[in-house]
A and B are shown apart, each in its own frame.
Chain A
Amino acid sequence: MTPKRKQRLILVSVMLCGVAAAAAFGVNAFRDNIMLFHSPSDVVAGAVNPGKAFRVGGMVVDGSVQRDQDSLEVRFELTDYDKTIPVSFSGILPDLFREGQGIVAMGAMDDAGTFEASEVLAKHDENYMPPEVADALERAGKMPGTAANFDSKTVVEP
Protein backbone atom coordinates (compact mmCIF):
# COMPACT_ATOMS: atom_id res chain seq x y z
CA MET A 1 0.00 0.00 0.00
CA THR A 2 1.39 3.38 -0.92
CA PRO A 3 1.81 5.94 1.89
CA LYS A 4 -0.92 8.07 0.33
CA ARG A 5 -3.46 5.24 0.38
CA LYS A 6 -2.44 4.28 3.89
CA GLN A 7 -3.06 7.85 4.95
CA ARG A 8 -6.51 7.83 3.38
CA LEU A 9 -7.30 4.46 4.98
CA ILE A 10 -6.39 5.87 8.40
CA LEU A 11 -8.40 9.02 7.69
CA VAL A 12 -11.52 7.04 6.75
CA SER A 13 -11.16 4.76 9.80
CA VAL A 14 -10.67 7.69 12.17
CA MET A 15 -13.70 9.43 10.67
CA LEU A 16 -15.85 6.33 11.09
CA CYS A 17 -14.71 5.79 14.69
CA GLY A 18 -15.38 9.44 15.51
CA VAL A 19 -18.89 9.35 14.11
CA ALA A 20 -19.61 6.02 15.82
CA ALA A 21 -18.45 7.41 19.16
CA ALA A 22 -20.54 10.55 18.68
CA ALA A 23 -23.59 8.44 17.82
CA ALA A 24 -23.01 6.21 20.84
CA PHE A 25 -22.83 9.19 23.20
CA GLY A 26 -25.85 10.85 21.62
CA VAL A 27 -27.97 7.72 21.72
CA ASN A 28 -26.92 7.03 25.31
CA ALA A 29 -27.79 10.54 26.42
CA PHE A 30 -31.29 10.25 24.97
CA ARG A 31 -31.81 6.73 26.31
CA ASP A 32 -34.88 7.67 28.32
CA ASN A 33 -36.46 9.47 25.39
CA ILE A 34 -35.80 6.67 22.92
CA MET A 35 -37.49 4.15 25.23
CA LEU A 36 -40.96 3.85 23.82
CA PHE A 37 -42.64 2.85 27.06
CA HIS A 38 -42.16 2.42 30.79
CA SER A 39 -42.86 -0.80 32.64
CA PRO A 40 -45.41 -1.06 35.47
CA SER A 41 -42.45 -1.41 37.86
CA ASP A 42 -41.13 1.98 36.71
CA VAL A 43 -44.54 3.50 37.28
CA VAL A 44 -44.91 2.00 40.77
CA ALA A 45 -41.35 3.10 41.59
CA GLY A 46 -42.35 6.65 40.70
CA ALA A 47 -40.21 7.09 37.57
CA VAL A 48 -42.98 9.08 35.93
CA ASN A 49 -44.42 12.35 37.18
CA PRO A 50 -48.17 12.20 37.93
CA GLY A 51 -50.31 13.96 35.34
CA LYS A 52 -47.64 13.67 32.66
CA ALA A 53 -48.57 11.69 29.52
CA PHE A 54 -46.41 8.65 28.85
CA ARG A 55 -46.57 5.11 27.48
CA VAL A 56 -46.69 2.02 29.61
CA GLY A 57 -46.05 -1.48 28.31
CA GLY A 58 -46.78 -4.88 29.81
CA MET A 59 -48.84 -8.03 29.70
CA VAL A 60 -52.59 -7.99 30.19
CA VAL A 61 -53.26 -10.03 33.34
CA ASP A 62 -55.28 -13.20 32.74
CA GLY A 63 -58.89 -12.82 33.86
CA SER A 64 -58.59 -9.12 34.61
CA VAL A 65 -60.42 -7.69 31.58
CA GLN A 66 -63.82 -6.20 32.48
CA ARG A 67 -65.95 -4.70 29.74
CA ASP A 68 -68.75 -2.25 30.42
CA GLN A 69 -72.05 -3.52 28.99
CA ASP A 70 -73.32 -0.11 27.81
CA SER A 71 -70.17 1.58 26.52
CA LEU A 72 -66.74 0.91 25.08
CA GLU A 73 -65.25 1.35 28.55
CA VAL A 74 -62.84 -1.46 29.42
CA ARG A 75 -60.71 -2.03 32.53
CA PHE A 76 -57.84 -4.44 32.92
CA GLU A 77 -54.62 -4.92 34.80
CA LEU A 78 -51.17 -4.63 33.29
CA THR A 79 -48.16 -6.47 34.66
CA ASP A 80 -44.45 -7.00 34.02
CA TYR A 81 -44.56 -10.06 36.33
CA ASP A 82 -43.23 -7.90 39.13
CA LYS A 83 -45.61 -5.00 39.68
CA THR A 84 -49.17 -4.59 38.38
CA ILE A 85 -51.15 -1.44 37.63
CA PRO A 86 -54.86 -1.01 36.78
CA VAL A 87 -55.68 0.51 33.39
CA SER A 88 -58.93 1.94 32.05
CA PHE A 89 -59.61 2.67 28.41
CA SER A 90 -62.56 3.80 26.34
CA GLY A 91 -62.41 2.97 22.65
CA ILE A 92 -61.78 0.24 20.13
CA LEU A 93 -59.04 -2.21 21.02
CA PRO A 94 -56.72 -3.73 18.39
CA ASP A 95 -57.45 -7.27 17.16
CA LEU A 96 -54.52 -8.75 19.01
CA PHE A 97 -55.67 -7.39 22.36
CA ARG A 98 -56.43 -10.29 24.70
CA GLU A 99 -55.57 -11.58 28.11
CA GLY A 100 -51.95 -12.67 28.35
CA GLN A 101 -51.00 -10.52 25.36
CA GLY A 102 -48.44 -7.71 25.43
CA ILE A 103 -49.72 -4.17 24.90
CA VAL A 104 -48.40 -0.62 24.95
CA ALA A 105 -50.81 2.07 26.19
CA MET A 106 -50.55 5.86 25.96
CA GLY A 107 -52.05 7.93 28.73
CA ALA A 108 -51.48 9.29 32.24
CA MET A 109 -51.97 8.26 35.86
CA ASP A 110 -55.04 9.65 37.59
CA ASP A 111 -55.26 10.54 41.29
CA ALA A 112 -56.63 7.12 42.22
CA GLY A 113 -53.57 5.38 40.79
CA THR A 114 -55.32 4.10 37.67
CA PHE A 115 -53.68 4.52 34.28
CA GLU A 116 -56.16 6.37 32.05
CA ALA A 117 -55.26 5.20 28.55
CA SER A 118 -56.11 7.28 25.49
CA GLU A 119 -54.63 4.75 23.04
CA VAL A 120 -53.92 1.03 23.32
CA LEU A 121 -51.56 -0.72 20.88
CA ALA A 122 -50.88 -4.44 20.73
CA LYS A 123 -47.29 -5.64 20.81
CA HIS A 124 -46.91 -9.02 19.19
CA ASP A 125 -43.89 -11.21 19.72
CA GLU A 126 -41.35 -12.73 17.36
CA ASN A 127 -42.89 -16.22 17.43
CA TYR A 128 -44.72 -17.52 14.39
CA MET A 129 -46.35 -20.94 14.27
CA PRO A 130 -49.41 -22.72 12.88
CA PRO A 131 -52.41 -22.99 15.26
CA GLU A 132 -51.94 -26.77 15.67
CA VAL A 133 -48.36 -26.30 16.85
CA ALA A 134 -49.48 -23.57 19.24
CA ASP A 135 -52.13 -25.92 20.66
CA ALA A 136 -49.58 -28.70 21.09
CA LEU A 137 -47.12 -26.40 22.84
CA GLU A 138 -49.92 -25.09 25.04
CA ARG A 139 -50.83 -28.62 26.12
CA ALA A 140 -47.19 -29.42 26.85
CA GLY A 141 -46.86 -26.17 28.77
CA LYS A 142 -43.97 -25.06 26.60
CA MET A 143 -45.51 -21.98 25.00
CA PRO A 144 -42.78 -19.36 24.51
CA GLY A 145 -43.75 -16.33 26.56
CA THR A 146 -43.38 -12.69 25.66
CA ALA A 147 -42.30 -11.85 29.17
CA ALA A 148 -38.75 -11.28 27.97
CA ASN A 149 -39.93 -8.27 26.03
CA PHE A 150 -40.95 -6.53 29.18
CA ASP A 151 -38.83 -7.55 32.14
CA SER A 152 -35.52 -6.22 30.83
CA LYS A 153 -34.47 -2.71 29.79
CA THR A 154 -36.52 -0.87 32.36
CA VAL A 155 -35.42 2.57 33.39
CA VAL A 156 -35.95 3.29 37.05
CA GLU A 157 -34.70 6.64 38.17
CA PRO A 158 -35.03 7.90 41.73
Chain B
Amino acid sequence: MYRLAGRLAPWFGGLCLLSLALGLYLGLVVAPADYEQGDSYRIIYIHVPAAWMSMFVYVVMATSSAIFLIWRLKIADVVAEASAPIGAAFTAVALLTGSFWGKPMWGTWWIWDARLTSELLLLFLYLGYMALRGALDTPQGSARAAAILAVVGVVNIPIIHFSVEWWNTLHQPATISKLDKPSMHISMLRPLLLMVLAFQMLYFHNLMVRLRTLILTRESRASWVAELNPETGN
Protein backbone atom coordinates (compact mmCIF):
# COMPACT_ATOMS: atom_id res chain seq x y z
CA MET B 1 0.00 0.00 0.00
CA TYR B 2 2.85 2.32 0.89
CA ARG B 3 4.57 1.70 -2.46
CA LEU B 4 1.29 1.88 -4.38
CA ALA B 5 0.52 5.29 -2.86
CA GLY B 6 3.99 6.47 -3.81
CA ARG B 7 3.52 5.35 -7.38
CA LEU B 8 0.04 6.89 -7.76
CA ALA B 9 0.74 10.27 -6.13
CA PRO B 10 2.59 11.92 -9.06
CA TRP B 11 -0.10 10.82 -11.52
CA PHE B 12 -2.86 12.40 -9.46
CA GLY B 13 -0.71 15.47 -8.95
CA GLY B 14 -0.01 15.82 -12.67
CA LEU B 15 -3.66 15.38 -13.65
CA CYS B 16 -4.63 17.92 -11.00
CA LEU B 17 -2.19 20.56 -12.34
CA LEU B 18 -3.30 19.92 -15.92
CA SER B 19 -7.03 20.24 -15.28
CA LEU B 20 -6.45 23.11 -12.84
CA ALA B 21 -4.52 25.11 -15.43
CA LEU B 22 -7.05 24.40 -18.19
CA GLY B 23 -10.05 24.95 -15.91
CA LEU B 24 -8.74 28.26 -14.54
CA TYR B 25 -7.87 29.53 -18.02
CA LEU B 26 -11.26 28.57 -19.49
CA GLY B 27 -13.12 29.75 -16.40
CA LEU B 28 -11.42 33.09 -15.74
CA VAL B 29 -10.42 34.16 -19.26
CA VAL B 30 -12.53 32.39 -21.87
CA ALA B 31 -15.92 31.95 -20.16
CA PRO B 32 -18.29 34.89 -20.64
CA ALA B 33 -19.60 37.05 -17.79
CA ASP B 34 -22.97 36.17 -16.30
CA TYR B 35 -26.05 38.11 -17.46
CA GLU B 36 -27.08 38.88 -13.89
CA GLN B 37 -23.99 38.64 -11.70
CA GLY B 38 -21.31 39.93 -14.07
CA ASP B 39 -17.81 38.72 -13.31
CA SER B 40 -18.46 38.01 -9.63
CA TYR B 41 -19.98 34.66 -10.49
CA ARG B 42 -16.50 33.36 -11.38
CA ILE B 43 -15.89 32.50 -7.74
CA ILE B 44 -18.14 29.53 -8.53
CA TYR B 45 -15.06 27.87 -10.05
CA ILE B 46 -13.56 27.58 -6.57
CA HIS B 47 -16.68 27.52 -4.43
CA VAL B 48 -18.61 24.68 -6.08
CA PRO B 49 -15.68 22.23 -6.41
CA ALA B 50 -14.64 22.92 -2.81
CA ALA B 51 -18.20 22.40 -1.52
CA TRP B 52 -18.58 19.23 -3.58
CA MET B 53 -15.25 17.88 -2.28
CA SER B 54 -16.13 18.76 1.32
CA MET B 55 -19.02 16.30 1.04
CA PHE B 56 -17.18 13.73 -1.09
CA VAL B 57 -14.25 13.54 1.34
CA TYR B 58 -16.65 13.09 4.23
CA VAL B 59 -18.39 10.19 2.50
CA VAL B 60 -14.97 8.57 1.90
CA MET B 61 -14.08 9.14 5.54
CA ALA B 62 -17.37 7.71 6.83
CA THR B 63 -17.21 4.70 4.52
CA SER B 64 -13.67 3.80 5.48
CA SER B 65 -14.53 4.36 9.15
CA ALA B 66 -17.42 1.89 8.80
CA ILE B 67 -15.09 -0.61 7.11
CA PHE B 68 -12.63 -0.13 9.96
CA LEU B 69 -15.32 -0.65 12.59
CA ILE B 70 -16.66 -3.82 11.00
CA TRP B 71 -13.58 -5.53 9.55
CA ARG B 72 -10.92 -3.85 11.70
CA LEU B 73 -8.88 -3.07 8.57
CA LYS B 74 -6.04 -0.82 9.66
CA ILE B 75 -5.60 0.79 6.24
CA ALA B 76 -9.23 1.96 6.29
CA ASP B 77 -8.53 3.79 9.52
CA VAL B 78 -5.44 5.39 7.97
CA VAL B 79 -7.50 6.58 4.98
CA ALA B 80 -10.05 8.19 7.30
CA GLU B 81 -7.37 9.83 9.41
CA ALA B 82 -5.54 11.14 6.33
CA SER B 83 -8.76 12.50 4.79
CA ALA B 84 -10.03 14.53 7.74
CA PRO B 85 -7.74 17.60 7.49
CA ILE B 86 -8.09 17.69 3.68
CA GLY B 87 -11.86 17.62 3.99
CA ALA B 88 -11.80 20.29 6.67
CA ALA B 89 -9.72 22.51 4.38
CA PHE B 90 -12.17 22.06 1.49
CA THR B 91 -15.08 22.90 3.81
CA ALA B 92 -13.35 26.04 5.08
CA VAL B 93 -12.62 27.15 1.50
CA ALA B 94 -16.26 26.55 0.50
CA LEU B 95 -17.52 28.58 3.46
CA LEU B 96 -15.04 31.43 2.91
CA THR B 97 -15.56 31.76 -0.84
CA GLY B 98 -19.31 31.50 -0.30
CA SER B 99 -19.04 34.37 2.13
CA PHE B 100 -17.10 36.48 -0.38
CA TRP B 101 -19.81 35.71 -2.91
CA GLY B 102 -22.65 36.40 -0.52
CA LYS B 103 -21.56 39.94 0.30
CA PRO B 104 -21.88 41.43 -3.20
CA MET B 105 -24.68 39.16 -4.43
CA TRP B 106 -27.01 38.76 -1.47
CA GLY B 107 -25.85 41.73 0.58
CA THR B 108 -24.61 39.76 3.58
CA TRP B 109 -21.51 37.79 4.56
CA TRP B 110 -23.44 35.22 6.52
CA ILE B 111 -27.00 34.16 7.14
CA TRP B 112 -28.26 31.27 9.23
CA ASP B 113 -30.09 29.51 6.46
CA ALA B 114 -30.24 25.72 6.29
CA ARG B 115 -27.52 25.27 3.65
CA LEU B 116 -24.95 27.51 5.30
CA THR B 117 -25.63 26.18 8.78
CA SER B 118 -25.39 22.52 7.78
CA GLU B 119 -22.14 23.18 5.91
CA LEU B 120 -20.75 24.87 9.04
CA LEU B 121 -21.82 21.80 11.01
CA LEU B 122 -19.78 19.72 8.56
CA LEU B 123 -16.69 21.80 9.37
CA PHE B 124 -17.28 21.18 13.08
CA LEU B 125 -17.67 17.44 12.39
CA TYR B 126 -14.25 17.41 10.72
CA LEU B 127 -12.68 19.42 13.54
CA GLY B 128 -14.38 17.25 16.17
CA TYR B 129 -13.13 14.12 14.44
CA MET B 130 -9.55 15.38 14.48
CA ALA B 131 -9.85 16.53 18.10
CA LEU B 132 -11.30 13.20 19.18
CA ARG B 133 -8.41 11.34 17.56
CA GLY B 134 -5.95 13.30 19.62
CA ALA B 135 -7.99 13.31 22.81
CA LEU B 136 -7.84 9.69 23.92
CA ASP B 137 -4.70 8.02 25.22
CA THR B 138 -4.78 4.68 23.47
CA PRO B 139 -4.50 4.69 19.67
CA GLN B 140 -7.08 1.89 19.35
CA GLY B 141 -9.58 3.66 21.55
CA SER B 142 -9.30 6.99 19.78
CA ALA B 143 -9.46 5.33 16.36
CA ARG B 144 -12.68 3.55 17.29
CA ALA B 145 -14.31 6.59 18.91
CA ALA B 146 -13.41 8.80 15.96
CA ALA B 147 -14.72 6.19 13.50
CA ILE B 148 -18.07 6.11 15.29
CA LEU B 149 -18.27 9.91 15.11
CA ALA B 150 -17.48 9.84 11.39
CA VAL B 151 -20.15 7.21 10.69
CA VAL B 152 -22.81 9.01 12.73
CA GLY B 153 -21.98 12.37 11.14
CA VAL B 154 -22.69 11.09 7.63
CA VAL B 155 -26.36 11.84 8.37
CA ASN B 156 -25.48 15.49 7.79
CA ILE B 157 -24.47 14.92 4.15
CA PRO B 158 -27.98 14.41 2.70
CA ILE B 159 -29.15 17.29 4.88
CA ILE B 160 -26.59 19.60 3.26
CA HIS B 161 -27.45 18.39 -0.22
CA PHE B 162 -31.22 18.60 0.07
CA SER B 163 -31.39 21.61 2.40
CA VAL B 164 -32.09 23.92 -0.53
CA GLU B 165 -35.04 21.77 -1.59
CA TRP B 166 -36.56 20.94 1.77
CA TRP B 167 -36.57 24.42 3.24
CA ASN B 168 -36.71 28.05 2.21
CA THR B 169 -33.12 29.19 2.01
CA LEU B 170 -31.28 32.22 0.72
CA HIS B 171 -28.85 29.88 -1.01
CA GLN B 172 -30.01 29.02 -4.53
CA PRO B 173 -30.84 25.43 -5.54
CA ALA B 174 -28.23 23.19 -7.17
CA THR B 175 -27.16 24.10 -10.70
CA ILE B 176 -25.53 20.96 -12.05
CA SER B 177 -27.20 18.12 -10.17
CA LYS B 178 -30.05 18.45 -12.64
CA LEU B 179 -28.45 16.25 -15.27
CA ASP B 180 -31.34 16.33 -17.72
CA LYS B 181 -31.10 20.08 -18.20
CA PRO B 182 -28.20 21.89 -16.54
CA SER B 183 -29.00 25.48 -15.58
CA MET B 184 -25.70 26.71 -16.85
CA HIS B 185 -24.53 27.64 -20.30
CA ILE B 186 -22.08 25.10 -21.74
CA SER B 187 -19.25 27.66 -22.06
CA MET B 188 -19.44 28.23 -18.29
CA LEU B 189 -20.19 24.63 -17.36
CA ARG B 190 -17.15 23.09 -19.05
CA PRO B 191 -14.53 24.91 -16.93
CA LEU B 192 -16.58 24.17 -13.81
CA LEU B 193 -16.48 20.44 -14.48
CA LEU B 194 -12.74 20.70 -15.16
CA MET B 195 -12.27 22.44 -11.81
CA VAL B 196 -14.26 19.70 -10.07
CA LEU B 197 -11.91 17.16 -11.66
CA ALA B 198 -8.90 19.21 -10.56
CA PHE B 199 -10.11 19.34 -6.96
CA GLN B 200 -10.83 15.62 -7.03
CA MET B 201 -7.28 14.92 -8.20
CA LEU B 202 -5.91 17.35 -5.62
CA TYR B 203 -7.63 15.29 -2.93
CA PHE B 204 -6.31 11.98 -4.24
CA HIS B 205 -2.80 13.38 -4.54
CA ASN B 206 -2.86 14.75 -0.99
CA LEU B 207 -4.40 11.53 0.28
CA MET B 208 -1.59 9.44 -1.24
CA VAL B 209 1.14 11.66 0.22
CA ARG B 210 -0.51 11.72 3.65
CA LEU B 211 -1.12 7.95 3.54
CA ARG B 212 2.61 7.38 3.08
CA THR B 213 3.50 9.63 5.99
CA LEU B 214 0.90 8.09 8.30
CA ILE B 215 1.88 4.52 7.39
CA LEU B 216 5.53 5.31 8.08
CA THR B 217 4.66 6.94 11.40
CA ARG B 218 2.52 4.02 12.52
CA GLU B 219 4.92 1.34 11.34
CA SER B 220 8.09 3.12 12.35
CA ARG B 221 9.24 0.06 14.32
CA ALA B 222 8.53 -2.44 11.55
CA SER B 223 11.46 -4.13 9.84
CA TRP B 224 10.34 -3.22 6.30
CA VAL B 225 10.52 0.48 7.19
CA ALA B 226 14.09 0.10 8.44
CA GLU B 227 15.04 -1.46 5.10
CA LEU B 228 13.77 1.53 3.06
CA ASN B 229 16.30 3.63 1.20
CA PRO B 230 16.52 6.85 3.23
CA GLU B 231 17.28 8.88 0.08
CA THR B 232 14.28 7.88 -2.05
CA GLY B 233 11.97 6.54 0.63
CA ASN B 234 11.26 3.41 -1.39
Contacts and interface: CB of A to CB of B under 8 A. Distances in A.
Interface of A: 5, 8-9, 12, 15-16, 19-20, 23, 27, 31, 34-39, 57, 93-96, 104, 119-135, 144, 149, 153
Contact of B34 (A9, A36, A130): A130
Contact of B155 (A19, A38, A122, A153): A19
A144 B183 contact: yes
Contact of A123 (B34, B37, B44, B106): B106
B106 A126 contact: no
A122 B167 contact: no
B185 interface: yes
Contacts of B173: 125-126, 149
A128 B34 contact: yes
Judged by DSSP, the binding face of B is loop
Given A123-B106, A130-B33, 20 more contacts: A12-B66, A15-B151, A16-B154, A16-B155, A20-B155, A36-B168, A36-B169, A36-B170, A38-B168, A94-B104, A95-B105, A104-B170, A121-B111, A127-B175, A129-B184, A129-B185, A130-B32, A130-B187, A134-B36, A149-B172
Going nearest first, the 5 A-B pairs with the smallest beta carbon separation are: A94-B107, A134-B35, A130-B32, A129-B185, A131-B35
B84 interface: no
Contacts of A34: 114, 167
A107 B154 CA distance: 36
B40 to A, nearest CB: 8
Contacts of B33: 130-131
A5 B152 contact: no
B184 A127 contact: yes
A111 to B, nearest CB: 26
Contacts of B169: 36
A36 B188 contact: no
Interface string B110-126: 01111000000000000
Contact of B172 (A12, A121, A125, A130): A125
Contacts, number: 120
Nearest to B40: A95
B111 A96 contact: no
Interface residues of B, number: 42
B159 interface: yes
Interface string B140-171: 00000000100110111001000000111110
A93 B114 CA distance: 23
B136 interface: no
Contacts of A96: 36-37, 105-106
B71 interface: yes
B17 interface: no
Given A153-B167, A153-B168, A19 B184 contact: no
A95 B168 contact: no
A124 B105 contact: yes
Nearest to A17: B155
Contact of A131 (B32, B71, B154): B32
Nearest to B188: A128
Contacts of B222: none
B5 to A, nearest CB: 26
Interface in B1-49: 32-37, 41, 44
B99 to A, nearest CB: 14
Nearest to A143: B35
